């Protein structure tokens, strides 16, 4: 039986490859595989040809199991394709249809050119169909893994971007916050700030929330926790950069920030300097280059 | 029983906590400190907890109590050198140490006490 299947596939694919290929590509195109220009026609044709060749090689080597060594090449090829499509922003359906849409052309070609009796057809369709299903699932697996990797990478990048602690002056730190504050991020931000307070011996820390889109009760609570923790260590916190709309929303929501707050980072910095007994003064006329100090 | 030494520096008492606090030591410290504030006529108490790595709510309450007792005896309390992890734990436990001053290190803590003392002296003079 395996022998006859091998021969059937080999014969079908060597004699009628062009026909299967054409029909397959047509069905892919009808499904919109080329839409949006993310994949060129030539690229798609190369992928289809490559896949059919792998399929033939696999069956000619006598394998029918999708996990076998003979189909390693095919799995690898699908993995590359799937990963590339995941990063290009294809939907899962668009990716999986690549494999599943081969079934119909293959079966109809066998119908036309095969021996024609029902037993032979079943013998052909069932293992080939099974293999393609497996390959389709494999494609989905890789697709999801690729997306997850992408998400993890982005998360890491965001985390790196989100917690810079800047030294403004001796003993004055600034922490510009950007983006929504959730519990996990606040934890990282808080730890970073406190570590920096110790490392820089800072007495004043300015938390600037210009880049925080909304402040709700939870965010306010997180901020207050950070401020309390800094106070316990002996550093004062000033919150700056509360935008007018946010200030209104906070009042309407009944959110109370019982800390010193200033409208802008500049105001907060001025206050911080004043606390240290320092001030910024004008010492002369601005220089010609415009680089006034 | 282990006791925590209390050093006198001018009008200020300096307590450096270098052992893991248990309830007994904490209670003893509370008593000793109250007695010492009166005996030495201290105006301020600096508690250095920079060596303290683990806290619980009991320690937090102890610090609060010490501060309250010291205030009754006319002395300010400043906690210095708290580690970030300890600060986070205390905040999560809801201990805010409202009546206690804080400073980054002993130096700044002493300066804070000095400022307080001068201010209250000036107030008394009015």
More confident residue, A17 or B112: B112
- For residues B82 and B51, the answer to whether their CB atoms sit within 8 Å is no
ipTM: 0.80
User: Angle B84-A195-B20 (CA atoms, 0-180°, nearest 5)?
Assistant: 30
Question: Band of the pLDDT at B54, cuts 50, 70, 90?
Answer: confident
Sign of CA dihedral B19, B24, B27, B29: negative
Count of domains in chain A?
A: 2
Taking alpha carbons only, the member of B30, B35, B113 closest to residue B79 is B113
Task: Report pLDDT for A173.
Answer: 94
Is A141 found in the same domain as A26? yes
State yes or no: pLDDT of A238 exceeds 90.
yes
Q: Which of A237, A229, A161 is nearest to A194 (CA)?
A: A229
Is residue A10 domain-resident? yes
Same domain, A97 and A78: yes
What mean pLDDT is predicted for residues A82-110?
85
* pLDDT tens, residue by residue, A72-81: 888 888 888 8
Q: Classify strands B101-103 and B76-80 as parallel, antiparallel or unpaired.
A: parallel
pLDDT given for residue A289 in this prediction: 66
Residue B9 confidence (pLDDT) above 80: yes
pLDDT reported for residue B21: 80
Tell me the average pLDDT across A38-43. 82
Rounded average pLDDT over A59-72? 80
Q: Residue A230 — pLDDT band, cuts 50, 70, 90? A: very high
Chain A contact probe: residue of B86, B90, B91, B101 with most A CBs at under 10 A? B91
A227: domain CATH number is 3.30.750.24
DSSP A21-85: HHHHHHHHHHTTTTGGGSS-HHHHHHHHHHHHHHHHHHHHTT---TTSGGGHHHHHHHHHHHHHH
Average pLDDT, chain A: 84
Q: Which residues of A touch B102 (CB under 8 A)?
A: 231-234
Q: Is A245 contained in some domain?
A: yes
In-domain check, residue A235: yes
What pLDDT sits at residue B125? 62
pLDDT over threshold 50, residue A212: yes
pLDDT at A22: 87
Mean pLDDT over B8-23 rounds to 88
Mean pLDDT of A138-159: 88
Contact check, Cβ <8 Å, B82/A232: yes
Q: How far is B96 from chain A (nearest CA, A)?
A: 7
The pLDDT value recorded for residue A293 is: 47
Distance from CA of A279 to the nearest CA of B (A): 21
Contact B84 A191 (CB under 8 A): yes
Going across the sheet that includes A260-262, the strands are: A166-169, A172-178, A204-211, A236-240, A260-262
Q: Provide, rounded to the nearest whole percent, the portion of chain A with pLDDT above 90.
A: 19
Predicted local confidence at residue A239, as pLDDT: 92
Whether residue A290 lies inside any domain: the answer is: no
Does residue A123 register a pLDDT over 90?
A: no
Nearest to A234 among B91, B92, B103 (CB): B103
Separation CA B104–CA B95 (nearest Å): 18
Output the CA–CA distances (angstroms, integers) from residue A220 to A40, A255, A256, B1, B6, in the order listed.
51, 7, 7, 45, 40
CA distance A265 to chain B (A): 23
Residues A56 and A113 reside in one and the same domain: yes
In this structure, are A192 and A139 located in the same domain? no
Same-domain status, A36 and A133: yes
Pairing of strands A172-178, A166-169: antiparallel
Task: Answer yes or no: is A85 within a domain.
Answer: yes
Helices and strands counted in chain A (H then E):
11, 5
Q: How many CB atoms lie within 10 A of CB B98?
A: 9
Of A130, A158, A186, the domain-final residue: A158
**Residue A79 is assigned to a structural domain of this protein:** yes
User: Are A50 and A189 members of one domain?
Assistant: no
In the structure encoding, which two tokens stand for residue A91, read together?
Answer: 């939907």
Contact B63, A204 (CB under 8 A): no
Q: Are residues A10 and A153 in the same domain?
A: yes
Higher pLDDT, A274 or A111: A274
Q: Quick one: A117 and A27 in the same domain?
A: yes
Are residues A24 and A102 in contact, defined by beta-carbon separation less than 8 angstroms?
yes
Res A273 pLDDT > 90: yes
* pLDDT tier, A85 (very low <50, low <70, confident <90, very high otherwise): confident
Question: Residue A242 belongs to what domain range?
Answer: 166-275
Question: Is A264 a residue whose pLDDT tops 60?
Answer: yes
pLDDT number for residue A55: 84
C-alpha A132/C-alpha B17 separation (Å) is 70
Q: What are the residue ranges spanned by the domains of chain B?
A: 6-125
Statement to judge: residues A25 and A129 lie in one domain? yes
- The percent of residues above 90 in pLDDT, for chain B, comes to 35
Write the burial class of residue A279 (CB in 10 Å: 0-12 exposed, 13-18 middle, 19+ buried).
exposed
Going by C-beta distance under 8 Å and a sequence separation of 6 or more, which residues neighbour residue B46?
A: B12, B13, B14, B15, B77, B78, B80, B106, B109, B110, B113
Q: Residue A98: what are its φ and ψ, rounded to 5°?
A: -55, -45
- pLDDT exceeds cutoff 50 at A152: yes
**What's the average model confidence in pLDDT over B80-100?**
88
- Percentage helix, strand, coil, to 5, in chain A? 65, 10, 25
- List residues in chain B touching A: CB distance below 8 A: 79-84, 86-88, 90-92, 96-97, 102-105, 108-109
Is A25 among the domain residues? yes
The highest-level CATH class for domain B6-125 is alpha beta
Cross-chain Cβ contact A197/B84 below 8 Å = yes
Model confidence at A292, pLDDT cuts 50, 70, 90, reads very low
Question: CA–CA separation, B25 vs B21, rounded Å?
Answer: 6
| Local structure of A153: helix, strand or coil | helix
pTM, two decimals, is 0.64
> What average pLDDT does range A172-193 have in this prediction?
84
Residues A254, A292 contacting (CB under 8 angstroms): no
Same domain, A152 and A14: yes
How high is the pLDDT of residue A71? 84
- Give a yes or no: residue A229 inside a domain: yes
């Amino acid at each position: 039986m395996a022998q006859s299947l091998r021969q059937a596939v080999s014969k079908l694919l060597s004699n009628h490859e062009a026909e299967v290929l054409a029909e397959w590509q047509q069905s892919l195109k009808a499904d919109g595989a080329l839409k949006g220009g993310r994949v060129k026609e030539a690229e798609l044709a190369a992928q289809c040809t490559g896949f059919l060749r792998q399929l033939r090689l696999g069956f000619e080597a006598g394998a029918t199991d999708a996990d076998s060594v003979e189909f390693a090449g095919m799995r690898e090829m699908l993995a590359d394709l799937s990963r590339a499509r995941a990063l290009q922003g294809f939907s899962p359906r668009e990716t999986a249809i690549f494999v599943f849409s081969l079934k119909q052309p293959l079966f109809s070609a066998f119908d036309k050119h095969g021996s024609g009796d029902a037993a032979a057809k079943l013998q052909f369709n069932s293992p080939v169909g099974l293999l393609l299903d497996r390959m389709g699932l494999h494609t989905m697996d890789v697709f999801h893994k690729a997306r997850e990797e992408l998400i993890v990478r982005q998360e890491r990048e965001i985390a790196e971007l989100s917690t810079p602690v800047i030294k403004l002056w001796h003993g004055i730190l600034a922490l510009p916050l950007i983006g929504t504050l959730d519990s996990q991020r606040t934890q990282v931000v808080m730890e970073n700030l406190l570590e920096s307070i110790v490392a820089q011996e800072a007495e004043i820390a300015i938390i600037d929330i210009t880049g925080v889109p909304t402040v709700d009760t939870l965010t306010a609570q997180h901020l207050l926790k950070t401020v309390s923790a800094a106070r316990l260590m002996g550093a004062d916190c000033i919150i700056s950069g509360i935008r007018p709309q946010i200030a209104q929303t906070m009042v309407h929501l009944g959110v109370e920030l019982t800390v010193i707050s200033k409208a802008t980072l500049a105001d907060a910095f001025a206050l911080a300097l004043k606390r240290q007994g320092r001030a910024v003064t004008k010492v002369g006329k601005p220089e010609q280059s415009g680089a006034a100090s | 029983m282990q006791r925590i030494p209390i050093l006198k520096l001018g009008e200020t008492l300096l307590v450096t906590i270098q052992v893991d606090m248990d309830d007994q030591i904490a209670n003893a410290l509370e008593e000793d400190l109250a007695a010492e504030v009166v005996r030495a006529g201290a105006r301020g108490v600096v508690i250095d907890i920079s060596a303290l790595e683990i806290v619980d709510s009991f320690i937090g309450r102890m610090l609060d109590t010490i501060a309250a007792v010291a205030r009754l005896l006319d002395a300010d309390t400043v906690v210095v050198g708290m580690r970030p992890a300890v600060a986070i734990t205390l905040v999560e436990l809801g201990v805010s140490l409202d009546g206690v001053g804080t400073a980054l290190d002993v130096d700044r803590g002493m300066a804070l006490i000095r400022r307080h003392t001068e201010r209250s002296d000036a107030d008394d003079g009015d």
